[in-house]
Chain A
Amino acid sequence: MTASRWAWLVGIALGIVVVQLTIADELSIAGVHPELLWVLPVAAGLSAGAMPGMAAGFAGGVVADLFLPTPFGLSAFVGVLVGYAMGRLGEEGIGDLHGSQWWVAPSLGAASGFAAPVLYAVAGVAVGHRSYLSTTLLVVCLLDAAACALLVRPMMHLTGPLLAEDPLRGSLEPVRGAM
């Protein structure tokens, strides 16, 4: 990961924060709203592999945590894990924008969006916030899953060319070549 790619990730993460604060926070159901921060590591992982996925999870998580009242670093921790898992799938060509069926990436996005808040809540409990495992967690998971499913493909169109090691050959070609 070059410095310019990190800079792009921070820029995209700040853009996601703007959309979160202005639009997503208003779309509240049962007192909770969709969290867009998981879209970045999912899209980066699927479109560019594990390394960019992990970096996106870390950068996106740190930036998001700057605007949240929850423990600083917790979103980054979960984002790295999500980015790694999606990146491994992405490196196998699963969810690829051009090589896979159109519904694969949204399905993986929905699964990640559902799992990420659970991981977040469990990690939160581990650092002393027992209330994170509450009855509203299911609503959070469903909303985040919907947001990820909806936004993962547009985000992949953005992250793929930006984070690919060789944009001319496609984002995953260097990885596949190595394997």
Chain B
Amino acid sequence: MAKPRGRRRLVTLSVLLLASLTLLALGGPFRHTASRVARAIVSPFVSVVHGVTKPIGESMAGIFNYGDVVNQNHVLAKELDQLHQAQIAYLFQLRQLGDVMALKKLPFVGTLPTVTAQSTAQNRSNFAATIEIDKGTDAGVLAGMPVVGGGGLVGIVTATTAGGSTVTLLTDPSQSVGITFGVGGQAYVHGQGPSHSLAMEFVAPGTPVHVGEHVFTNGLQGGLFPAGIPVGTVVGTFSGTGGAQQSISVTPLANLSNLAYVDVVLWEPGA
């Protein structure tokens, strides 16, 4: 009796492993439909449980961090005043830059429509840097569209449903963005994980790159991103002896660990 049972167990193990591998290879279309159904089933229960747990969690956070909240409000009020002042100057520069980019026939983010979305979840998986937003294909959001917020580029839409989307953040190792820096410098930054800075690549030794300098999307990456989106700030440069390129760290301008609202730029890659 033990032998047939053991054989049946091994056959089941093989079949289930094979089924998992098949899903890995062919899962795309099935996943899309099944995911929509599963989310529709789970959504009401999540709302009910959230309705109970969220106020409790926020009350606890408010009690224990009251002093921090007050301090943050003071800092934010000051920053808001400064931003109002800077915005006036920025609008003038934006108009001028838009005119120049139009002459060069490059897409420029300042002239593109956006959809504002709320972040509903962050880093669902421990193995990918993503956020979920509450706008999907119903609002015109499509895979490949850039997402901005908190002062800079946040990431790119990688999956959509009718009422929501998944945004893969800049810091995810799968992400790479063509950027411009200094006077006409071109390079790439790529993600190194959620708690790490971005790595700037293809910068020849001796090229002047200054700490504190901002880098922007260059719009030249086959049209993956429109030009002019602020990406990050250079925080460190290192030029090793005999290296073919400099090692440069860039911190994203957007605070990717605390995104409440973001704007999806209604821009299709290659458009």
Q: Are A and B part of the same complex?
A: yes
Q: Determine whether the beta carbon of B13 is less than 8 Å from that of A66.
A: no
| Known interface pairs A51-B9, A132-B127; A69-B159 also in contact (CB < 8 Å) | yes
User: Does B193 have its Cβ within 8 Å of any Cβ on chain A?
Assistant: yes
Question: Would you give the shortest CB distance from A157 to chain B, in whole angstroms?
Answer: 21
Contact with A along B114-154 (1 / 0, CB 8 A): 00000001011111101000000000000000000000000
Chain A interface mostly: helix
Question: CB-CB < 8 A to B166: which residues of A?
Answer: 69
Question: CB-CB < 8 A to A120: which residues of B?
Answer: 127
Contact with A along B22-61 (1 / 0, CB 8 A): 1111011011001100110110011001100100010000
Question: Would you give the shortest CB distance from A62 to chain B, in whole angstroms?
Answer: 7
User: Does A25 have its Cβ within 8 Å of any Cβ on chain B?
Assistant: yes
Give Cα A175–Cα B130 distance, bound, in whole angstroms: 44
Give Cα A19–Cα B42 distance, bound, in whole angstroms: 10
Question: Would you give the shortest CB distance from B245 to chain A, in whole angstroms?
Answer: 20
Question: Would you give the shortest CB distance from A63 to chain B, in whole angstroms?
Answer: 7
Q: Determine whether the beta carbon of A76 is less than 8 Å from that of B127.
A: no
Closest to A124 in B: B127
Q: Determine whether the beta carbon of B193 is less than 8 Å from that of A134.
A: yes
Contact of B2 among A22, A127, A178 (CB under 8 A): A178
Give Cα A57–Cα B16 distance, bound, in whole angstroms: 9
Q: Determine whether the beta carbon of B57 is less than 8 Å from that of A26.
A: yes
Question: Would you give the shortest CB distance from A69 to chain B, in whole angstroms?
Answer: 5
Q: A31-39, A92-100, A106-114: which one contacts chain B?
A: A31-39
Contact of B21 among A62, A69, A73, A129 (CB under 8 A): A73
Size bin of chain B's contact surface:
35 or more
Q: Determine whether the beta carbon of B126 is less than 8 Å from that of A33.
A: yes
Contact of A18 among B16, B49, B174 (CB under 8 A): B49
Query: Chain A residues in contact with chain B, CB under 8 A?
Result: 14, 17-19, 21-23, 25-26, 28, 30-33, 35, 50-51, 54-55, 57-58, 61-63, 65-74, 76-77, 80-81, 84, 117, 120-121, 124, 127, 129-132, 134-136, 140, 175, 178-179
Q: Would you mind naming 13 contact pairs between A and B with Cβ atoms under 8 Å apart?
A: A22-B46, A28-B123, A32-B123, A33-B126, A51-B8, A69-B168, A70-B128, A73-B21, A80-B13, A130-B173, A134-B193, A178-B1, A178-B5
Which 9 A-B residue pairings sit nearest by Cβ, starting from the closest?
Answer: A73-B23, A72-B27, A131-B173, A73-B24, A77-B20, A22-B49, A76-B20, A66-B38, A66-B35
Query: Chain B residues in contact with chain A, CB under 8 A?
Result: 1-2, 5, 8-9, 12-13, 16-17, 19-25, 27-28, 30-31, 34-35, 38-39, 41-42, 45-46, 49-50, 53, 57, 121, 123-128, 130, 158-159, 166, 168, 172-174, 192-195, 257
